[in-house]
A = this chain, B = another copy of it.
Amino acid sequence: MGQRALILFAHGARAASWAAPFERLRDLVRARLPGADVSLAFLELMEPSLPAQVAALAAAGIEEVTVVPVFLGQGGHVLRDLPLMLDELRASYPALRIDAVGAVGEDPDVLRAMTDYCVGALGAASAAPKGGV
**A interface residues, Cβ below 8 angstroms from B:** 4, 6, 8, 10-11, 13-15, 17-22, 24-25, 28-29, 32-33, 36, 64, 66-68, 70-76, 78-79, 82-83, 86, 97-107, 109-119, 121-122, 124-126, 128, 130-133
Contacts and interface: CB of A to CB of B under 8 A. Distances in A.
B17 A74 contact: yes
In the A-B complex, the 10 residue pairs with the smallest Cβ-Cβ separation, listed nearest first, are: A18-B75, A13-B75, A99-B125, A100-B133, A18-B73, A99-B132, A113-B113, A66-B125, A15-B75, A100-B132
Nearest to A4: B122
Copy tally for this chain in the complex stands at 2
B121 A101 contact: yes
A114 to B, nearest CB: 5
